[in-house]
């Protein structure tokens, strides 16, 4: 008999969620207000912020617009991340 798997959040998902939470709090926005902007419940926002639910690319773009940041903001300082300016060709960084 196998024991049930407990799903632990991916470190990148946790990081992106923590950046979402940090920016939301910097703006003085509640989880409820962000949830309304997303068309979701505050419970779903909580799951995003804890990294329990992965944020899709389209939702990440929406979050960036709502929170007035660029998408790369959510990945700054992520585990295993790379500095874009050091690894990407110059023309891609403009």
Please report, in tens digits, the pLDDT of each residue of the chain (94 residues total): 565 666 788 999 999 999 999 999 999 999 999 999 999 999 999 999 999 999 999 999 999 999 999 999 999 999 886 555 555 555 545 4
Q: Please give the pLDDT value at position 94.
A: 46
Stated pTM of the model = 0.79
Count how many residues are written for the chain: 94
Residue 35 CA to residue 27 CA, distance in Å, equals: 14
List, for residues 31-41, the tens digit of each pLDDT value: 999 999 999 99
């Amino acid at each position: 008999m196998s024991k049930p798997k407990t799903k632990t959040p991916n470190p990148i998902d946790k990081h992106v969620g923590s950046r979402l939470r940090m920016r939301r709090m910097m703006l003085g926005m509640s989880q409820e207000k962000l949830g309304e902007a997303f068309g979701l419940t505050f419970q779903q926002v909580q799951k995003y912020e804890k990294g329990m639910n992965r944020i899709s690319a389209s939702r990440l773009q929406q979050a960036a617009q709502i929170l007035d940041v660029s998408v790369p903001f959510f990945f700054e300082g992520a585990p295993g991340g790379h500095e874009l300016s050091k690894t990407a060709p110059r023309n891609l960084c403009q």
